[in-house]
Structure 1
Amino acid sequence: MKFLIGGMLTLVVAGGTFLYLGTARADEPSRAPASDAHGLVLGSAQEAQPETMTDFLTAVTKDVDAYWTKVFADNGLPEPRVTYQWIPAGQSAASACADSSTSGDDIAAYCSADDTISISEAFASRIYDGELDHALPGSSQGYGGTAGDFAVAYIVAHEYGHQIQDELGLFDQYGSQVPTSAFELQADCYAGTWAKSAYDENRLEDGDVQEALDAALAVGDFDASNPSHHGTPEERKAAWSTGFESGDPSACNTYLQAA
């Protein structure tokens, strides 16, 4: 994938470990994005590439933020704001959700209490390297798989989608009326609309769309009786496809209205 913008990071030393924090700002000065140390290549050979997973996660977040900033501006809404934190392997970070901390190497979450996206770098790296298929509910049963840069980008864009739901007041409006899966599928759909914008700008590379579809299948689950059910593999794939094929965030309203 090729990026339009980069961004700035604030480096904070917490408890003797390095915790990377930042706030998504579409108006920050552009900085060259990146290739991951695992061999991830973004953009052309002439472009500077990100050197770490931290850089890649930040570049994707900035790109998604730029898309939603434009969508909001076009609809007369104020610029969305979100804080992000990339958690080093084996470390934890403060969070206003759950037990007041985000820990473990399998974290990818949005906390509405403090408008923060938290993703563990180890989790993102394992997604990129295709090392989690045995552990994910969909792929462990033969649905899809996670590998590649756009599988990671799908995760980031999905979590940013929850921030959009929060900005639009959808949690307050529908929270007591719809199941968790409705919000999850809408976030998948939102991720698809961002991907379509990148596709229309000729910034996707061969295989990117398939990586996202495979990742959506891989993270789907079949435990519909669980209050935390996120949608079946096919439902999650269809939701992302709805966003990608329409390129219109309003097409994603159906997931809450139908529920």
Structure 2
Amino acid sequence: MQWRGRRQSSNIEDRRGSGGGFSGGRRGGGLRIPVKAGGGGIVTMLIVGAIAWFVFGINPLTLFGGDMGGQGSYQTSETGRAGGGVDSTPGETDNFVATVLADTETVWSTRFQEAGETYPEPTLVLFNDRVESACGIAGSATGPFYCPGDRKLYIDLTFFDQLESQLGAPGDFAQAYVVAHEVGHHIQNITGVLGKLNSARQSLPQDQANALSVRVELQADCYAGIWAHDTRAAGYVEPGDIDEALNAAFQIGDDTLQRRGQGTVVPDSFTHGTSAQRQEWFKRGYQSGNFGECDTLQGQL
């Protein structure tokens, strides 16, 4: 992905307590809790398990206005070649994420303007280890998430290392897909979808509530595909980028994660969709660039 030297979003709130924050954002004090990184055994299993359950999504408790209580919602080479993540040089990943967020602002502001509406830009919060949001407290192991209560995206950037090393999804465009998916949830929030989901889930049996959550997650994937469509039209997508996003979509499918984590697949427990579904809906948004093609709900809300 071509991202260096381009506009970066100022809607960044840096709450990392260790310094070295993003110069264009707002800084705040972060609560740092020591967590063992890397390695194997039970620590790694717990981290992967938490990411597997909520990865790239929304904690159902955030929809109910509850306390997350630590339960989550869910580097490029210098040449930006396919398969490389964002360089770990201090500030490099910050700049990358700020550029991707700026791209989502351009895409959705333009589309809302064409519809005669104004796009309310979300804020992206960078944190280490633990963060407090309007939806409660979450730890890094929960993965990126979006909080409808404060309209903010939350990311501990070390997640990108886990995305590559533990989930098998390397590449800068895979990382961009993470951000674009969470912004997709912001679109759902401001269009009323998440509020309707909250109301509907409370009266449904668990398996039906899960199935409804899957539809919402797949729509966010489709919206991420629309972002990729417009980013390609702007000339910033490079060969291999879309394959990186599709691989990420595959690796974080419920069936793939369950098969990897527990050896069996339990469809009634799916909350985000299968690998094939996630790829399908991302491709649908990417290939069509049509907001109307992302109707995964089909009157269900």
Q: TM-score, normalised by structure 1?
A: 0.76
Higher mean alpha-carbon deviation, 71-80 vs 1-10, is at 1-10
**Contact in 2 for aligned 1:109/1:119 (Cα 8 Å):** yes
**Contact in 1 for aligned 2:12/2:98 (Cα 8 Å):** no
Give the corresponding residue for 1:148: 171
**Contact in 1 for aligned 2:13/2:125 (Cα 8 Å):** no
**Contact in 1 for aligned 2:170/2:244 (Cα 8 Å):** yes
Amino acid aligned to 2:275: P
TM-fit CA distance, 1:249: 1.5
TM-fit CA distance, 1:155: 0.8
SS at match of 1:94: strand
Give the corresponding residue for 1:29: none
Whether 1:60 aligns to 2:100 is yes
Choose between structure 1 and 2: higher strand proportion: 1
Give the corresponding residue for 1:136: none
TM-fit CA distance, 1:221: 0.7
Q: Which has the higher contact order (CA 8 A, sep 6+)?
A: 2
TM-fit CA distance, 1:202: 2.2
**Contact in 1 for aligned 2:12/2:124 (Cα 8 Å):** no
5+ residue gaps, structure 1: 24-35, 44-48, 134-144
Whether 1:112 aligns to 2:148 is yes
Give the corresponding residue for 2:8: 6
Q: Map 1:102-181; keep pairs closer than 5 Å.
A: 102-127=138-163, 130-133=164-167, 145-175=168-198, 176=200, 179-181=212-214
Choose between structure 1 and 2: higher helix proportion: 2
Alignment RMSD: 2.7
SS at match of 1:256: coil
Q: Map 1:207-246; keep pairs closer than 5 Å.
A: 207-222=240-255, 223-226=266-269, 229-246=271-288
Whole-Å Cα distance in 2 between the matches of residues 5 and 172 of structure 1? Answer: 32
Higher mean alpha-carbon deviation, 170-179 vs 79-88, is at 170-179
Give the corresponding residue for 2:130: 92
The alignment-based identity, stated in percent, is 30
TM-fit CA distance, 1:186: 0.1
Amino acid aligned to 1:120: D
Whole-Å Cα distance in 1 between the matches of residues 79 and 134 of structure 2? Answer: 35
Higher mean alpha-carbon deviation, 165-174 vs 2-11, is at 2-11
